Amino acid sequence: MILEAWITLLVLTGVLILLISTRRNPEMILLGGLIILLVTGVLPASKALAGFANEGMITVGALFILSAALRETGGIQLLTRRLLTKPGSLLTAQMRVVFPSVLLSGFLNNTPLVAILLPAVKDWAKKYHLPISKLLIPLSYSAILGGLCTLIGTSTNLIVNGLLIESKIPSLGFFEITRIGIPCAIAGTLFILMAARWMIPDRQPVMNQLDNPREYTIEMIVEPGSPLVDQTLENAGLRNLPEMYVMEIERDGQIIPAVSSQHTLRADDRLVFVGVVESVVDLQKIRGLKPATDQVFKLDAPRSDRCLIEAVVSNTNPLTGKTIREGRFRTKYDAAIIAVARNGMRIKRKIGDIVLEPGDTLMLETLPEFEEKQRNSRDFYLVSRLEDSNPPRHDRAWTALAILIGMIVSVTAGWFSMLQASLLAGGLLFLTGCCSAEAARKAVDTRLLLAIASALGIGKALETSGAALAFADFFLKLAGNSPWLSLLIVYFITMIFTELITNNAAAVLMFPVAQASAQTLDVNFMPFVIAIMVAASASFSSPIGYQTNLMVYGPGGYHFSDFARMGAPLGILVGIITVTLVPFLWPF
């Protein structure tokens, strides 16, 4: 091998060692490796930076906007309301994640599927105190397995099909790969459900929690005609909010204390909740509940433009010693108080009748500009905005879902590429008011996109330096004249490359190598094509091999080695099934 190839292998080895042995940000490790390849001249700038213009990376970025719109409008709740109810056990929870992912990812490309389901699964895990790390790897793996079942399930399948067309070989049908995809998906799904409980450690993401968190008292009203009417507290999802409980219900002027989980809700019920700040934010997003204080609806700006802000009353605030109503708080500060916390005390008064005291922590619904205006004010000791606290625009939920369905149909029918459809969907979400520019900007995970782009650049170095080709040629020579052994080697080399240089790069790299092997052996090329499609998509052993693995890496709080522990045996299982069945389904 030439010098560039050796440098590339050394850089790749160093990157993998750092990813496995440290907890440093993976995107910075990958970017560092890419910079070394650029500085040493292994890659020219055009190829080193090509990953930042890659269609797959841009598509993932556009899909984050779609995910943000579904979250902002409450569309995710509509999608998952019946599916993500209280599970009886961890296995039941994993089944509710895995089965829909496998079924849907064959018809909705697995990357957008994970982008859509990820925030819903995170919220569900938080609500029912489920270990998130035991759900997100199964989500990614099941989406990958389902994507193996159709031509559009993964971008890899489409890329290989395009290479066939370029080579003047008949293209594959929509369900051509289904014959091998379904056995792999069934076996893989069963393995995930049996092994995930034991092979995935509980790595709940680190959350900053206080030993004595502030508890707010907040009142909410059940809106007439809402989906909560005639539901029990448990079925309405109001019994399992993290660190929050319903203390009492006021109905027709009567107080109902010690409310049970089977208590049925009615329209205009006034619910009194006690809980921590994060759960108050979650409460604001539940469809069918509205703040009991009418001051919220007297603010001029639309609710979708507002956010929640915490402010601590100072001893120089002119409204101390007065009730909130007497002090005309909303008029003075253009903000509505929706909850008050006072040293853990339960304030047994309606919001307007509470007398403000120095040190009271107020939760306000107002415009984001409040933070800048009052940050240095003597009226408040501390002012801080709560992230992701904009009230959802439930009236736009069906619009967002219609745009999602339209994107899926347009890609499935072949009218647009995944990139075109996702960008068009993102534009429509802006035009219809389903997603604000600020929400879209915050939703785009730049760390993930940086990791994807850097990994693509390193993969390009392996390809252009000749390191990957030399590696493949060496092992293929070991196969001699055996078609089956050649197929086995092609499969596992592709699988290894997928874990190191991403799925699409591995497929593109191995296609000509496998084609040359089939021609040399004078056998049917199609078994090798199918093997490459499965091996390049079945990336389970590392987070950098496939986009969905990278997407769950951070939110699950995973270590690099967690993917290898669960993914290596799963990858071997899928490989054995593929190499065994493919020669019978597509004879040499």
Query: How far from 209 is each of 212, 214, 535, CA to CA, in Å?
Result: 8, 10, 42
Neighbours of 415 (CB within 10 A): 11
Token pair 């759960």: residue? 279
In 3D space, the residue among 188, 17, 153 whose CA is nearest the CA of residue 546 turns out to be: 153
Does residue 334 sit in the same domain as residue 480? Answer: no
Sign of CA dihedral 7, 13, 14, 16: positive
Domain that holds residue 279: 216-385
Please tell me which residue, 46 or 301, carries the higher pLDDT value.
46
In 3D space, the residue among 514, 405, 422 whose CA is nearest the CA of residue 164 turns out to be: 514
pLDDT 10s digits, 155-203: 778 777 777 876 778 777 778 889 999 999 999 999 999 998 888 888 7
Does residue 161 sit in the same domain as residue 101? Answer: yes
Are 147 and 185 within 8 A, CB to CB? no
**pLDDT more than 90, % of the chain:** 11
Are 35 and 73 within 8 A, CB to CB? no
Whether 408 is in a domain gets the answer no
Name the domain count of the chain: 2
Residues contacting residue 478 through CB under 8 Å, at least 6 positions apart: 485, 489
Mean pLDDT of the chain: 80
Whether 62 is in a domain gets the answer yes
User: For position 257, which CATH number holds?
Assistant: 3.30.70.1450
Does residue 96 sit in the same domain as residue 234? Answer: no
Does residue 370 sit in the same domain as residue 240? Answer: yes
* The domain boundary residue, chosen from 364, 385, 406: 385
pLDDT 10s digits, 283-320: 777 778 888 776 666 666 666 667 888 888 888 888 88
Global confidence as pTM: 0.64
- Indicate if the pLDDT at residue 543 is higher than 60: yes
Does residue 8 sit in the same domain as residue 112? Answer: yes
Whether 528 is in a domain gets the answer yes
Helices (H), 465-537: 467-476, 483-501, 503-521, 526-537
Does residue 125 sit in the same domain as residue 44? Answer: yes
* The domain boundary residue, chosen from 359, 385, 411: 385
**Residue 163 one-letter amino acid:** L
Q: Indicate the pLDDT class of residue 526, thresholds 50, 70 and 90.
A: very high
pLDDT of residue 299: 65
pLDDT 10s digits, 272-282: 888 777 777 77
Show the tokens assigned to 208: 């900053």
* The domain boundary residue, chosen from 385, 414, 432: 385
Helix (H, G, I), strand (E, B) or coil at 224: coil
pLDDT of residue 212: 46
Does residue 238 sit in the same domain as residue 331? Answer: yes
Whether 409 is in a domain gets the answer no
In 3D space, the residue among 137, 32, 116 whose CA is nearest the CA of residue 451 turns out to be: 32
Helix (H, G, I), strand (E, B) or coil at 69: helix
**Residue 356 one-letter amino acid:** L
Does residue 375 sit in the same domain as residue 524? Answer: no
Does residue 152 sit in the same domain as residue 226? Answer: no
pLDDT of residue 211: 44
Does residue 18 sit in the same domain as residue 130? Answer: yes
pLDDT 10s digits, 204-248: 654 444 344 567 878 888 888 888 888 888 777 787 677 777 878
In 3D space, the residue among 268, 223, 265, 224 whose CA is nearest the CA of residue 246 turns out to be: 265
Does residue 115 sit in the same domain as residue 161? Answer: yes
Q: What average pLDDT score do residues 36-62 get?
A: 80
Does residue 100 sit in the same domain as residue 237? Answer: no
Are 6 and 39 within 8 A, CB to CB? no
